[in-house]
C-alpha cells in the first residue's frame, strides 16, 4: 500500500469519484455533484484557496486500486481569528481497514505539522462554514442537502487513528403533521410586538440579491461568532456560497428580520435537493443528470433549515420564534411535509430547546474529532 500526495489537477477526478465506488449499492448514499467538487478543490476556482492551503492524498492498495482518500487543510483565516495553530482534515473516505486509515491520517498530519499546525481537527470540508462532521447516529435514512453521510465503521477508524471527541452536532426532524404549531398561531401577536420596536420580517428580495447577500453576511459573521470553530466568511466566500444557493433558493424559506435598513437576523431553509441528487449517477449533470434535477425539483417535500440566527442585542425578543413560525407556515402552503434543522451544537441550549418546543426530535448526530500532533 502507498499514499500519494496529489499535485495540481492530476488524479483529482479519481479523488472525487472514489466515494461513488466505495458506496456503490448503498441506498442512503448521495453523490456530490462532480463539477461542484472539482471547483471546490481547484485553486483559483474557490475563494478558500485565496487565503489557505489544501493538500489531497490518495491511498492505493497492492493492486494499484484506490482504497482511501483524505485532505489536509490549513485554514489561515481560522487560525488568525481564533489565535490558534490548528490543522484540519476533511474529505475522508476509506475502506474498512485500520492500516489504510492510519496511513492516510499519518500523511495528512505530517503535512499539517510541516505547515506549523499542532492539532488536527475534523472532518471539515473546508471549515464549519461548509459540510462538516462525522455521522455517528442515524444511518437509516439519506442525508439532507449539504449534510454528510458515511459508513458506521468510520467512527472506529478515526478513533483508532488516535482521535477523540471535540463536540457533537445535532440534526432535528420536525414533521409538520406532528409539530407544535404554537409558533404559527402566535405569529400575528409576535409580529405586532416586534413592529412596535420597528422590527419587521420579510422574504429576501431576489431582484436585489447582491445587496441583500452583503447584509446577510454581516449578520452571519456577527450572529455565529461565538460558535465553536467559527471563522468569518470573506466577502468572496459568502458570495460564492450565495451564488450556488441562489440556484435552489425559494424566497418563501429565506426570511430576513430588519430594523429600519439594518438586518438583525435571518433564517434560510433549502429544499432538500438530495431527494433528487440521489438519482444523479456519479454526480454527473450530463447527459441526463440535469434533467433529473429540473424535473425532480417540484417533487421535493422536505426542507433543511440551514441557518437561523439573530445578532446578540436582538435575541429573546421573539424574532427566532417568528422566523420558525413563518417558515413552517410557508412550507405548509407549499406542500412541504417537514424539515430537518441542522446542524446545532449539542450545548446550544437556547436553540435546541426552541426546536424541541415545537416537537422537533434528534434524528441524526454528527461528531467533530481532534488530536494533538
Q: What is the pLDDT along the chain (373 residues), one digit of tens a residue?
A: 899 999 988 899 999 999 999 999 999 999 999 999 999 999 999 999 999 999 999 999 999 999 999 999 999 999 999 999 999 999 999 999 999 999 999 999 999 999 999 999 999 999 888 999 999 999 999 999 999 999 999 999 999 999 999 999 999 999 888 776 776 777 888 888 899 999 999 999 988 988 898 899 889 888 776 666 678 899 899 888 888 888 788 899 999 999 988 999 999 999 999 999 888 888 877 666 665 676 667 789 999 999 888 998 888 888 888 888 888 889 888 889 999 999 999 998 888 888 888 888 999 999 999 999 9
**If DSSP codes are grouped into helix, strand and coil, which group holds residue 256?**
strand
Q: Are residues 365 and 221 in the same domain?
A: yes
Q: Are residues 95 and 231 in the same domain?
A: no
Q: Are residues 95 and 233 in the same domain?
A: no
Label residue 4 left, alpha or beta by phi (over 0 means left) and psi (-120 to 50 means alpha).
Answer: beta
Cell numbers for 116: 506549523
**Rounded to whole angstroms, how far apart are CA atoms 370 and 169?**
14
Q: Are residues 232 and 333 in the same domain?
A: yes
Bridge-based pairing of strands 254-259 and 199-203 is antiparallel
* 201 Cβ neighbours under 8 A, 6+ residues apart: 191, 194, 255, 256, 257, 258, 319, 322, 323, 326
352-367 b/e with 16+ CB inside 10 Å = b? bebbeebbbebbbbbb
Q: Are residues 20 and 80 in the same domain?
A: yes
pLDDT at 210: 87
Structural contact between residues 231 and 77, judged by C-beta atoms closer than 8 angstroms:
yes
Q: Are residues 313 and 186 in the same domain?
A: yes
* 183 Cβ neighbours under 8 A, 6+ residues apart: 190, 321, 322, 324, 325, 328, 358
pLDDT at 50: 95
Q: Give the alpha-carbon dihedral of 240, 246, 247, 249, to 10 degrees.
A: 140
* 365 Cβ neighbours under 8 A, 6+ residues apart: 135, 136, 137, 138, 168, 169, 170, 171
Q: Are residues 151 and 208 in the same domain?
A: no
Q: Which of 132, 167, 202 is the last residue of a domain?
A: 167
Closest CA to 6 of 41, 50, 51: 41
Q: Are residues 150 and 66 in the same domain?
A: yes
For the domain that residue 342 is a member of, what is the CATH number? 3.40.630.30
**Rounded to whole angstroms, how far apart are CA atoms 264 and 257?**
6
Task: Name the residue range of residue 118's domain.
Answer: 2-167
Q: Are residues 202 and 263 in the same domain?
A: yes
**If DSSP codes are grouped into helix, strand and coil, which group holds residue 239?**
helix
**Rounded to whole angstroms, how far apart are CA atoms 307 and 69?**
30
Number of other residues whose CB lies within 10 A of the CB of residue 281: 10
Distance between first and last Cα of the chain:
23
287-322 b/e with 16+ CB inside 10 Å = b? eebeebbeebeeebebbbbbbbbbbeebeebbbbbb
**If DSSP codes are grouped into helix, strand and coil, which group holds residue 296?**
helix
**Rounded to whole angstroms, how far apart are CA atoms 158 and 27?**
24
Q: Are residues 156 and 185 in the same domain?
A: no
pLDDT at 289: 61
Give the CA angle between residues 209, 210, 211 to the nearest 5°.
95
Quote the DSSP letter at residue 318: S
pLDDT at 317: 86
CA count, 13 A, side-chain hemisphere, 323: 29
pLDDT at 249: 85
Residue 328's alpha-carbon distances to 127, 272, 305, 318, in angstroms, are 29, 15, 10, 15
pLDDT at 254: 93
| Number of independent structural domains in the chain | 2
Q: Which residue has the cell 441506498?
A: 27
Q: Are residues 48 and 141 in the same domain?
A: yes
Q: Which of 167, 183, 217 is the last residue of a domain?
A: 167
Bridge-based pairing of strands 302-310 and 338-345 is parallel
Q: Are residues 226 and 295 in the same domain?
A: yes
Q: Which of 167, 199, 223 is the last residue of a domain?
A: 167
Bridge-based pairing of strands 262-271 and 302-310 is antiparallel
Amino acid at each position: 500500500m502507498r499514499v500519494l500526495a496529489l499535485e495540481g489537477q492530476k488524479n483529482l477526478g479519481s479523488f472525487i469519484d472514489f466515494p461513488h465506488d466505495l458506496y456503490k449499492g448503498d441506498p442512503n448514499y448521495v453523490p456530490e455533484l462532480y463539477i461542484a467538487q472539482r471547483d471546490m478543490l481547484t485553486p483559483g476556482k474557490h475563494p478558500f484557496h485565496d487565503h489557505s492551503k489544501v493538500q489531497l492524498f490518495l491511498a492505493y492498495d497492492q493492486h494499484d486500486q484506490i482504497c482511501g482518500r483524505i485532505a489536509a487543510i490549513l485554514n489561515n483565516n481560522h487560525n488568525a481569528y481564533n489565535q490558534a495553530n490548528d490543522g484540519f482534515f476533511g474529505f475522508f473516505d476509506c475502506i474498512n481497514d485500520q492500516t489504510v486509515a492510519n496511513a492516510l491520517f499519518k500523511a495528512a498530519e505530517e503535512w499539517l505539522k510541516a505547515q506549523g499546525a499542532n492539532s488536527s481537527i475534523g472532518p471539515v470540508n473546508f471549515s464549519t462554514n461548509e459540510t462538516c462532521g462525522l455521522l455517528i447516529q442515524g444511518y437509516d435514512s439519506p442525508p439532507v442537502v449539504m449534510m454528510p453521510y458515511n459508513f458506521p465503521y468510520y467512527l472506529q477508524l478515526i478513533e483508532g487513528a488516535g482521535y477523540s471527541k471535540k463536540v457533537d452536532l445535532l440534526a432535528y426532524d420536525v414533521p409538520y403533521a406532528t409539530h407544535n404549531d404554537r409558533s404559527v398561531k402566535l405569529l400575528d401577536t409576535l409580529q405586532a410586538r416586534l413592529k412596535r420596536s420597528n422590527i419587521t420580517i420579510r422574504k429576501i428580495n431576489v431582484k436585489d440579491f447582491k445587496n441583500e447577500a452583503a447584509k446577510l453576511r454581516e449578520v452571519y459573521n456577527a450572529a455565529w461568532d461565538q460558535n465553536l470553530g467559527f471563522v468569518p466568511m470573506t466577502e468572496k466566500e459568502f458570495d460564492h456560497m450565495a451564488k450556488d444557493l441562489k440556484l435552489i433558493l425559494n424566497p418563501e424559506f429565506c426570511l430576513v428580520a430588519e430594523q429600519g435598513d439594518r438586518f438583525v437576523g435571518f433564517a434560510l431553509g433549502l429544499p432538500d435537493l438530495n431527494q433528487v441528487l440521489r438519482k444523479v449517477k456519479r454526480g454527473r449533470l450530463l447527459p441526463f443528470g440535469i434533467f433529473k434535477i429540473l424535473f425532480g425539483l417540484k417533487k421535493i417535500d422536505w426542507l433543511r433549515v440551514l441557518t437561523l440566527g439573530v445578532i446578540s442585542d436582538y435575541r429573546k425578543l421573539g424574532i427566532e420564534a417568528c422566523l420558525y413560525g413563518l417558515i413552517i407556515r410557508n412550507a405548509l402552503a407549499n406542500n412541504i411535509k417537514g424539515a430537518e434543522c441542522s446542524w446545532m451544537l449539542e450545548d446550544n441550549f437556547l436553540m435546541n430547546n426552541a426546536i424541541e418546543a415545537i416537537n422537533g426530535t434528534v434524528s441524526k448526530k454528527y461528531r467533530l474529532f481532534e488530536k494533538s500532533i
